[in-house]
Amino acid sequence: MELIVSESGKGKFTQDISVGKHVLIADEPIANGGLDLGPSPYDFLLAALGSCTAMTVRLYADLKKIPLKKITVRLQHEKIHAQDCADCDNPQSKIDHIQRQIELQGELTQDQRAKLLEIANKCPVHRTLTSKILITTTLID
């Protein structure tokens, strides 16, 4: 399925996003020169990670009959100096830091909770974001 993003004409940064039968709006906050008519691109990135995490954990819990009642994923994104990161090559640069907090509700054992956390880290979007990504871009005439 193709996803199409095009300028809406409503604001400097406002974008219309078409995904199959779904229509979404992306924009920047007012503080960044947008009209705040929709989530920012980073908000959509976090939404992709959070929803994939919850879906992956739910799928596993149901498959293994783990009594997970509800999962909630909270995410935040920030740029941090590489000097704050022990695994970074250049301490002068900034890196993206996503903080993900997962709340699991239900009568779960510590082993079940640990396994669900392990599974959360295996969601496809998490694996994509932590792997080498190749993006090819071409111009259309």
pLDDT confidence of residue 83: 61
- One-letter identity of residue 46: L
SS3 96: strand
Mean pLDDT of 33-55: 97
- Express each pLDDT in 46-104 by its tens digit: 999 999 999 999 999 999 999 999 999 999 999 887 665 555 566 567 788 999 999 99
- Express each pLDDT in 93-129 by its tens digit: 778 899 999 999 999 999 999 999 999 999 999 999 9
Kindly state the tokens that stand for 94.
């900034």
